[in-house]
Structure 1
Amino acid sequence: MSTTTDGRSARWEAHRQERRKTLVESAIRTIRTRGASVGMDEIASEAGTSKTVFYRHFTDRHGLYQAVADRVDELILRDIGTVLGQNTKGAGLSALDLDPQAVIRAAIDAYLQLVERDPELYRFIVSAPIVGGTTSGNAAEAVANATGRMAGQISDLIAAAFVDRGNDPAPARLWGHSLVGLVRAGADAWLVGLAGDFSREELTDQLTNLAWSGIKIAWKRPSD
């Protein structure tokens, strides 16, 4: 009996996860077509279902927002891997045999690719209108979490470089999150036309040079 029950539970969980994935992808399509300020009624309607079904799978609007943000985070990491020509799910970005400046550039370019390719989806993530905007405490926390995985990967890369060269890795997490903040500020200015008439590639070069001028110290040895 327990084997049968376990099998049914596993099938139900697989179905539930697949349904969540389908609803997230539908929400992303709706954000792209209806804009960042789209509401739950429109998201549910475009998915051919009801808000009740969404809340059953995501609890509330914050749950859906976080699921969309997690999916966007996965897309950014995928794009980093594409730029680097490798699978970042394996060793991660902290492998010491990678060219660190190339990794930083790949991370920045992947972020800007999202802004260029999906401006409404990007606005949905960074302004979080569906959960009350960034002035809401819960929304501000959700927005901070949205890019946390990429910041964590960059932090790991910097920490590994510090340790490998006999330096204190304590600043690594601060530097990783600060780098993502730098890129976000540049991306936001670029999106509204305040960063000059740069192409994405040119903006990537500018931000990489700015970031690398400070971060490269992590790759120096104490005796250098």
Structure 2
Amino acid sequence: MTSSSAATRAGDGRATRWAGQRERRRREFVTAALRAIAETGPQVSTAQIADEAGIARPQLYKHFDDATDLQRAITDEAAQLVTTALRPLWELRGSAIQLITVAVDAHIDWLTDNANLYRYLSLQSHSGRDAVADVKTVIARQLTQLFEHYLTLFEMDTRIAETIAFGVVGLVDSCTAQWLETRHRVPRAELTALLTRWIWRLLDDILRTGGVELDPHITLPPPPLHPA
């Protein structure tokens, strides 16, 4: 091996290690940002995020191109958190009403537990990128696969699965977001019951239009394994 080849390989090794270290540090800073958002609120500043990470603000931008890059990384992590939180839903067993209730509860739980993060994402949506839409899309894409499974089971047109999924997610998300701001007006259990009933009536109408009459309280065949 020539000296130039050895030097090239050494350089490549250093570049790989630096890339891995930079990615690890980025993840650490995003985790710190999530803590800062939860504690400080949606108006958190990059200085507060840097303080939470235990570094000076200029050091933060050695790992992110700018504030937009940091916001994008936080949004991507939020989408991953949603995916993880809802993963058990794809292995549920029960009736249509039970499945809907558990899914609605899980969505409300996530928004409640991450209220400041949701508000933060909403603020980013107003500044250009629709961060909330990104998170809702993650949920809707997964729900689409679930609806496709049952539409296939009932020998119905699966092309409507995506439209149904986005409609259901939009309903739960918008109602819960409003509830977070005025939660004393409607008890949590009542919110779940209302959304469950509305979603079932929507699904029941779709099924009946396709010639299917389904008892919402009978146990359904299990859905497929959750998406990877």
State the TM bucket, normalised to the shorter chain: 0.7 to 0.9
Change (3 A) 1:153 1:9: same
Question: For the pair shown, which has the larger CA radius of gyration, 1 or 2?
Answer: 2
Q: CA deviation at 1:209?
A: 2.0
Contact 1:158 1:218 (8 Å CA) reproduced: no
Q: Residue in 2 aligned with 1:69?
A: 75
Of structures 1 and 2, the one scoring higher in RCO (CA 8 A, sep 6+) is: 2
| Farther-moved stretch of structure 1 (32-41 vs 213-222) | 213-222
Q: Residue in 2 aligned with 1:12?
A: 18
Q: Residue 170 of structure 1: SS of its match in structure 2?
A: helix
Q: Residue 155 of structure 2: SS of its match in structure 1?
A: coil
Q: Residue in 1 aligned with 2:120?
A: 124
Contact 2:34 2:117 (8 Å CA) reproduced: yes
Alignment partner of 1:105 is 2:101: yes
Q: How does 1:39-58 map to 2 (within 5 A)?
A: 39-58=45-64
Amino acid at match of 1:196: R
Q: Residue 105 of structure 1: SS of its match in structure 2?
A: helix
Partners of 1:47 and 1:79 in 2: CA distance: 25
Alignment partner of 1:214 is 2:202: yes
Q: Residue 57 of structure 1: SS of its match in structure 2?
A: coil
Change (3 A) 1:207 1:223: closer
Gaps of 5+ in 1: 85-92
| Farther-moved stretch of structure 1 (37-46 vs 56-65) | 56-65
What's the % identity of the aligned pairs? 28
Q: Residue in 2 aligned with 1:152?
A: 141
Gaps of 5+ in 2: 1-5, 213-228
Partners of 1:70 and 1:108 in 2: CA distance: 22
Q: CA deviation at 1:162?
A: 2.1
Alignment partner of 1:175 is 2:164: yes
Q: CA deviation at 1:195?
A: 7.4
Contact 2:151 2:158 (8 Å CA) reproduced: yes
Q: CA deviation at 1:111?
A: 2.3
Alignment partner of 1:25 is 2:25: no
Partners of 2:137 and 2:116 in 1: CA distance: 20
Q: Residue 49 of structure 1: SS of its match in structure 2?
A: coil
Q: Residue 171 of structure 2: SS of its match in structure 1?
A: helix
Q: CA deviation at 1:99?
A: 5.5
Task: Select which of 202, 205, 211 maps to 2:193.
Answer: 205
Q: Residue in 2 aligned with 1:87?
A: none
Change (3 A) 1:10 1:197: same
Amino acid at match of 1:21: R
| Farther-moved stretch of structure 1 (101-110 vs 68-77) | 101-110
TM-score by length of 1: 0.75
Q: CA deviation at 1:182?
A: 0.7
Change (3 A) 1:11 1:167: same
Partners of 1:144 and 1:164 in 2: CA distance: 30
Q: Residue 63 of structure 2: SS of its match in structure 1?
A: helix
Amino acid at match of 1:34: T
Contact 1:76 1:110 (8 Å CA) reproduced: no
Partners of 1:114 and 1:154 in 2: CA distance: 16
Change (3 A) 1:222 1:144: closer
Q: CA deviation at 1:145?
A: 1.0
